[in-house]
Chains A and B, each alone.
Chain A
Amino acid sequence: DSGVTQTPKHLITATGQRVTLRCSPRSGDLSVYWYQQSLDQGLQFLIQYYNGEERAKGNILERFSAQQFPDLHSELNLSSLELGDSALYFCASSTRTVDGYTFGSGTRLTVV
């Protein structure tokens, strides 16, 4: 157990739908990062939150949004889903860069 908790582990939904992925960072970590891993694009950084505020944006689509709540858990909202959004979505948290970024086990999203 890495200490970063992601739910659900698997999600199957239809095109056009909206889903919410949840992440609880490791205790004491203020930063949360979201990544998407697909066969086409590899591992891509989506967005970072630090203590409730958006800190950095990567290749995140406009149909996707995220937020970090006062208890530091984060949610990634994916809307108007397309087949190409099928991927493994990771959340990661960190305290010190030298200690690396701790990843959750991921949410595997399948859009049918």
Chain B
Amino acid sequence: AQKITQTQPGMFVQEKEAVTLDCTYDTSDPSYGLFWYKQPSSGEMIFLIYQGSYDQQNATEGRYSLNFQKARKSANLVISASQLGDSAMYFCAIFGDGLTFGKGTHLIIQP
């Protein structure tokens, strides 16, 4: 069985600062994929970034990057130059039978 742990229930960050959202995972599968999703207050789930366990480089998508440390079983999301529109819930997930999600981090960007 897979497990995702997000230890930051909430974070307040000043606009334009970089943000790191923590995620650790547990799996016995030798091959796996890690995802980050954003859920704004409107409720939709927005896919941000994917990291495969055998990918040699950390994934990047625009202002989002994933700090993947396989030995530590961590897959932290880094948001550069945060914006007010980044305020949302952020979920880390691992693929197995469907996606197993963490409990999420509520990120609030302050002007």
A interface list, Cβ under 8 A from B? 2, 33, 35, 42-48, 56-58, 88, 90, 92, 97-103, 105-106, 108
Per DSSP, chain A at the interface is strand
**Is the CB–CB distance between B91 and A102 below 8 Å?**
no
Our count of residue pairs bridging A and B at CB distance below 8 angstroms stands at 59
Within 8 A of A (CB), among B1-50: 33, 35, 37, 43-47, 50
Residues of B close to A35: CB separation below 8 A: 98-99
Q: A43-B91, A46-B98, A106-B44 known; 18 other A-B pairs, CB under 8 Å? A: A35-B99, A42-B103, A42-B104, A43-B99, A43-B104, A48-B98, A58-B97, A58-B98, A88-B43, A97-B33, A97-B50, A97-B95, A98-B33, A103-B37, A103-B44, A103-B47, A106-B43, A108-B43
Select from chain A the residue with minimum beta-carbon distance to B51.
A98
| Chain B residues touching A, majority SS | strand
Tell me the nearest residue of chain A to B103, going by C-beta: A42
A42 lies within 8 A of B50 (CB) = no
